[in-house]
Amino acid sequence: MGVIELRVDNRLIHGQVTLAWVGYLGVDRLVVANDEVAVDEFQRMLLPQSARGVPTAVLGIRDAVEFCRDPLRGEERVMVIARQAEDAFRLVLEGLPAAAVNVGNAAPEPGTDFVMVTRSVAVTREQAAGYRELAQKVEVVSQLMPTDKRTDFIGLLDKKSL
């Protein structure tokens, strides 16, 4: 099986992903994993075009896990982009073979009681509990750009008393 890189980034596919992360990680394929985006025909058309030639799939959570676990992926290095924290929780719970989750960007959801954990990551108390549970299964880090220091995300939650 190849290598799975899992990133939480509500912006999905954008310049930081295609210009910085794809090259830094040596990614062969991008997978957007979110149930709502997967059924949005406009997003399904637009996101692969935004990937600058990197093969891209836009899938629901369960389909993304199956896609990444498919032996036909071989040694392919896949970057899975979860739109929301809850997507990452479900991906790992349903068996996505990722060693770590990089919480890169999570904009505040309107109407929620959130805390800014980093300049680009907003977290609710419920999400903080989910990240703590996730950390029992995989490493949870925060790194906006490859040039930024990779930081233990649970430690960041601790500093914010979440």
pLDDT at residue 25, rounded to an integer = 95
Q: Is residue 29 assigned to a domain? A: yes
**pLDDT band at 1; cut points 50, 70, 90:** low
Region 89-108: what's the mean pLDDT?
96
Q: Is residue 82 assigned to a domain? A: yes
* Token pair 């210009």 in the structure block, residue: 19
Region 135-145: what's the mean pLDDT?
96
pLDDT at residue 50, rounded to an integer = 93
**Rounded distance, CA 130 to CA 149, Å?**
23
Tens digit of pLDDT for each residue in 102-124?
999 999 999 999 999 999 999 99
Tens digit of pLDDT for each residue in 8-50?
999 999 988 888 999 999 999 999 999 999 999 999 999 999 9
Which helix or strand (DSSP H or E) is residue 103 part of? strand 98-105
**Rounded distance, CA 95 to CA 105, Å?**
23
Q: Is residue 117 assigned to a domain? A: no
pLDDT at residue 16, rounded to an integer = 87
Q: Is residue 121 assigned to a domain? A: no
The residue segments making up the domain with residue 57 are 3-105+134-149
Structure tokens at 126: 């419920």
**Rounded distance, CA 68 to CA 71, Å?**
8
Q: Is residue 125 assigned to a domain? A: no
**Rounded distance, CA 134 to CA 6, Å?**
12
**Rounded distance, CA 120 to CA 107, Å?**
7
Q: Is residue 33 assigned to a domain? A: yes
pLDDT at residue 71, rounded to an integer = 86
Q: Is residue 12 assigned to a domain? A: yes
Q: For residue 141, what is the domain's CATH number?
A: 3.40.35.10
Number of structural domains in the chain: 1
pLDDT at residue 2, rounded to an integer = 75
pLDDT at residue 7, rounded to an integer = 98
Q: Is residue 47 assigned to a domain? A: yes
